[in-house]
Amino acid sequence: MEANYSKEEFLKGKIILIDKPYEWTSFDVVKKIRFLIKRKYKLSKIKVGHAGTLDPLATGLIIVCTGKATKQIQKLIDSGKQYEANIKLGATTPSFDRETDINKKFEIAHITSGKVKKILENKFKGIIKQVPPLYSAKRVNGVRAYELARRGEEIELKANMVEIKNIELIEYNLPDIKLYINCSKGTYIRSLARDIGVALKSGAYLHNLRRISIGNFAVQDAISIKEFEKNLSNYNNLE
């Protein structure tokens, strides 16, 4: 069945599932979708927003809402998230991911798959306290933390309580491990990677991240930006 890409559908309110490409920001996705809809239907403006930020170096599900569907954004943001995370053990970076270079290296010879599973089960399931990364969108006196961090300013972020509903080791190949994570809103997987490294008496940083679901919406039902553009261009406007 052909997707309904009519002007009325977008204005009335449409939810679009996008598989975010690597190095795109969440705002890049929203900006592109808005531009394509406005160009197709010669609109001067249309409401378009996303339901939950995904870091530029991550891929996976972004929920884009248009028109009156933007009223559902907060409800969607409050939904649980599921991820697949590739974590590199034995090193750390200031950003807790690949955005910045490695600043310290650690021993990993003592780490076994059994130790990883035990630590995940005993320390990272349930309600946990988590400090957001300095390179994050958290605001400090009205300024994004990553802006201050990139300027070299010293800042201290407050810990938040988040819920890890489930966390499993799905691949083990030192120095790399791959985890499945089901968590509450507000969970920083980069911070989780950092904390897992500390718990293993080593270091760790997030190497790759893919968001596979938000609430009842799954990435396998998402389309790429190029697919959206093609579908929109091919849609026969019968107005």
Fold that domain 7-78+217-234 belongs to in CATH: Pseudouridine synthase (3.30.2350)
Query: CATH 3.30.2350.10 in the chain, residues?
Result: 7-78+217-234, 81-214
Q: How far apart are CA 112 and CA 117, in angstroms?
A: 9
Note if the pTM is more than 0.95: no
101 belongs to the catalytic site = no
SS3 breakdown of the chain: % helix, strand, coil, rounded to 5? 30, 30, 35
* Cα-Cα-Cα-Cα dihedral sign, residues 71, 218, 139, 120: positive
Fold that domain 81-214 belongs to in CATH: Pseudouridine synthase (3.30.2350)
Choice among 19, 28, 55, 195 that is catalytic: 55
Provide the token pair at 236.
């026969």
Average pLDDT, 10 consecutive residues per value, the chain (239 residues): 79 96 96 97 96 93 97 95 98 94 97 98 96 74 66 75 97 98 95 97 98 97 96 75
